[in-house]
Structure 1
Amino acid sequence: MYSQCCKKALLVACCVLLIVSSQAQDLHFSQFFNSPLTTNPANTGFLPDADYRLGANYRNQWSTVMTVPYKTTSIFGDAQLFRDRLENGWLGIGGVILSDVAGSGSLRSTKAYGSIAYHQQLGNSSLLSAGFNVGWANKRIDQSKLKFPDQFDGKFFENPITAVSLTNTSVSYMDVQAGMNYAYFPQENVYINAGYSIQHVNRPKETFFNDNTNQGRIPMRHIGFLNAILKVNERVIINPNAYFTTQAKSSELVVGLNGNYNLSEYGEKQLVAGLYYRLGDAIAPMVGFEVNNIKFTFSYDVTVSGLNQFNGYRGASEISIVKKGLYPQHGDRQTMCPSFY
């Protein structure tokens, strides 16, 4: 029992160090494909089967390790403009709001981004897109709720004195991201696209300490993904994905597959299921359903790394809701990707 308490105490201490460090990884979702604007701003209005999209994501992480789990929420929306006015192209506009609470409210993050992208068809079977977003980010911390390693007495964090002193408890800054996408759709049953983006292009400064140097600047984050939508038969469409990101000395690779099974004549009702693997960390099975272009999915991260001895294989749960639609005048527009219609 004592050994287990020590291990948990050390884990908590590590989490605290990550909280006050500016080198920690950005917010992310296991269902990255359901958070398009945080993956790549060129995804803004990048809708092969719709004119607009609205969505929300919620992630609950480390509920078995932390007294109060990490909670991340996002809402987003994007739409196509001038599709009938620009020759073989259109403009995409959108926005996303992110909120994150780390632990017992010790660290709170709020971010809001507005994004714009331009999409140009290259012939009849490919599409090239480029976009960027600009946003405002704020992080605030309540030091009275934090416990630092020098407050650990061997059993508990009971020592009231700590050598850590935070100069600021709230920091705000402007943030910029940019990216590109390419899609290839040689026939109605095949759609492939890939994208690359850079986050924190302006390398904003984020620190709670009194630091007049260039330290504390957020490292640029690079994200690449590869996606395919393939219609296997009249009832099944599969969607293999690969996602890679690197920031500072950290990296993450996610690969997997999800599929839609048609339960109705024209795809009004679909069953969704999938499985993803985050290299060296977790397996994330996913289930859901889609009704009248509203898709609901639930995934759960099953920890396979050494952390499973602390959390009992229970990592994070995630819920996503995405609504797509066509403008009334575009009700009969042909889609660029496989569909059940």
Structure 2
Amino acid sequence: MKKQIVNIAAVLIVLIISGSNGFAQDLHFSQYFNSPLTTNPANTGFIPDGNYRLGINFRDQWASIPVPYRTMSAFGDFQLLRDRLTYGWVGLGGAILRDVAGSGNLSSTKAYASIAYHQLLGESSLLSLGFNVGTANKRVDITKLTFGDQWNGKFFDSKVPTAEPITSSSTNYFDLQVGMNYAYFPTENIYMNAGFSVQHVNTPRETFYNGNNVVPRRYIGFLNASIKVSDMVIINPGAYYAQQAGAHEIVGGLNAAYNLSGDGAKQVYGGVYYRAGDAAAFLVGYQLNSIKLMFSYDVTTSTLAASNSRRGAYEISLIYSGLYSNRTFNNAKKSTICPSF
């Protein structure tokens, strides 16, 4: 059995690495698996080792160059009707996302509410469908920007009026995402999950000018697995792909959990991921009961390394997941579908 598990892990890792080519920068977390609701709304209430969870993420990128890029998010979701639906349940949740970048403090603030339905298909698989709706605001401090017509031959003079046709320093829009997941868990030691989502389905209008610029749809796919090699080690390979308006991002790698306490109450994590054409991310983490803290650091591998000395970004995630006190479910498979210690 152990040989079968190791073979499955090897195949997944080869598929992940062989698919890693080409990349274009976009809003992202290297720890995409720790930002489930921003990755796919079908993840709402899809909690393999719990019934509810709360999480925060923080990413500080390119701190070694004059204008860093910071992204923050907070989310929460929980399961409903698990004691009433024999072969499924409903997930409800919400997420807040904010990022700030550039010398003009270009900021984006988004808030979403999401819902998903999860249906067991027999004893070893699960299908999930979900969507979220929200509002987004993008803002820029025009007073901190300079334009080509403000160049006086020696320096940019911000006191000189610009003819740049900016009509507003803030824009708001309604946003919509949809997604689906499929999970397969043939034994207590093997779990695999694949998902696909579409963000900005309604292609909302977003511009500071008197124009008709829209946010193009963003397509996201991922493949994750959790494989219990022994009572001491669980490995978690994964791959992520995103495409938007000709730009794309591919991430692949794995992390492993080591059982420190024998009962799984204390675990330590280590892993490495590669974002094709951009950076390698090294991850460490620690879990104590229901609280998991992870830290990752991106080492730049692209040509930008000459400017930032390979200091790409650091990222922190903190997630708390728990179980309802009275878990009287109609189907025992619904209590947990992921390998655990």
Give the TM-score of the pair, scaled to structure 2: 0.88
Residue 314, structure 1, aligned to residue 315, structure 2? no
Q: 1:3 corresponds to which residue?
A: none
Greater RCO, 1 or 2 (C-alpha within 8 Å, sep 6+): 2
Cα distance, 1:154 vs structure 2: 7.7
Q: 1:40 corresponds to which residue?
A: 40
Write the distance in 2 (CA, Å) between the matches of 1:180 and 1:269: 32
> Do the aligned partners of residues 154 and 208 (structure 1) sit closer, same or farther apart at CA in structure 2, a change above 3 Å counting?
same
SS class of match (2:222): strand
Which of 321, 324, 327 is matched with 2:324 structurally? 327
Q: 2:252 corresponds to which residue?
A: 255
Write the distance in 1 (CA, Å) between the matches of 2:58 and 2:328: 31
Cα distance, 1:149 vs structure 2: 4.9
Q: Residue 217 of structure 1 aligns to which amino acid in structure 2?
A: V
Write the distance in 2 (CA, Å) between the matches of 1:192 and 1:42: 15
Cα distance, 1:104 vs structure 2: 4.4
> Do the aligned partners of residues 312 and 86 (structure 1) sit closer, same or farther apart at CA in structure 2, a change above 3 Å counting?
same
Identity %: 62
Q: 1:287 corresponds to which residue?
A: 284
Equivalent residues of 1:106, 1:146 under 8 A apart: no
Q: Residue 308 of structure 1 aligns to which amino acid in structure 2?
A: A
After the TM superposition, which residues 183-198 of structure 1 pair with which residues of structure 2 at under 5 Å, given as runs?
A: 183-198=183-198
Q: 1:52 corresponds to which residue?
A: 52
Residue 168, structure 1, aligned to residue 168, structure 2? yes
> Do the aligned partners of residues 153 and 227 (structure 1) sit closer, same or farther apart at CA in structure 2, a change above 3 Å counting?
farther
Equivalent residues of 2:76, 2:93 under 8 A apart: yes
Cα distance, 1:147 vs structure 2: 3.0
Write the distance in 1 (CA, Å) between the matches of 2:229 and 2:151: 58
SS class of match (2:143): helix
Q: 1:177 corresponds to which residue?
A: 177
Q: 1:229 corresponds to which residue?
A: 226
> Do the aligned partners of residues 318 and 150 (structure 1) sit closer, same or farther apart at CA in structure 2, a change above 3 Å counting?
farther
Residue 338, structure 1, aligned to residue 335, structure 2? no
SS class of match (1:37): helix
After the TM superposition, which residues 1-341 of structure 1 pair with which residues of structure 2 at under 5 Å, given as runs?
A: 27-67=27-67, 69-104=68-103, 106-149=105-148, 151=150, 157-158=156-157, 160-161=159-160, 162-211=162-211, 215-330=212-327, 334-340=335-341
Equivalent residues of 1:25, 1:247 under 8 A apart: no
Cα distance, 1:151 vs structure 2: 4.6
Cα distance, 1:100 vs structure 2: 1.1
> Do the aligned partners of residues 80 and 254 (structure 1) sit closer, same or farther apart at CA in structure 2, a change above 3 Å counting?
same
Cα distance, 1:153 vs structure 2: 6.7
Write the distance in 2 (CA, Å) between the matches of 1:242 and 1:285: 15
Alignment deviations for residues 200-231 of structure 1 (CA, whole Å, 9 cap, x no partner): 000100000012xxx31110000000000000
Cα distance, 1:108 vs structure 2: 1.4
Alignment deviations for residues 105-146 of structure 1 (CA, whole Å, 9 cap, x no partner): 521111000000000000000000000000000011110112
Write the distance in 2 (CA, Å) between the matches of 1:193 and 1:155: 58
Q: Residue 203 of structure 2 aligns to which amino acid in structure 1?
A: R
Equivalent residues of 1:185, 1:191 under 8 A apart: yes
Cα distance, 1:237 vs structure 2: 0.4
> Do the aligned partners of residues 296 and 139 (structure 1) sit closer, same or farther apart at CA in structure 2, a change above 3 Å counting?
same
SS class of match (2:317): strand
SS class of match (1:330): coil
Write the distance in 1 (CA, Å) between the matches of 2:242 and 2:264: 34
SS class of match (1:42): helix
Structure 2 gaps of 5+ residues are 1-23
Equivalent residues of 1:229, 1:240 under 8 A apart: yes
Alignment deviations for residues 4-25 of structure 1 (CA, whole Å, 9 cap, x no partner): xxxxxxxxxxxxxxxxxxxx97
> Do the aligned partners of residues 309 and 56 (structure 1) sit closer, same or farther apart at CA in structure 2, a change above 3 Å counting?
same
Equivalent residues of 2:195, 2:221 under 8 A apart: yes
SS class of match (2:326): helix
Structure 1 gaps of 5+ residues are 1-23
Count of residues in correspondence between the two structures: 313
Aligned-residue CA RMSD (Å): 1.9
Write the distance in 2 (CA, Å) between the matches of 1:153 and 1:238: 59
> Do the aligned partners of residues 154 and 282 (structure 1) sit closer, same or farther apart at CA in structure 2, a change above 3 Å counting?
farther
Give the TM-score of the pair, scaled to structure 1: 0.88
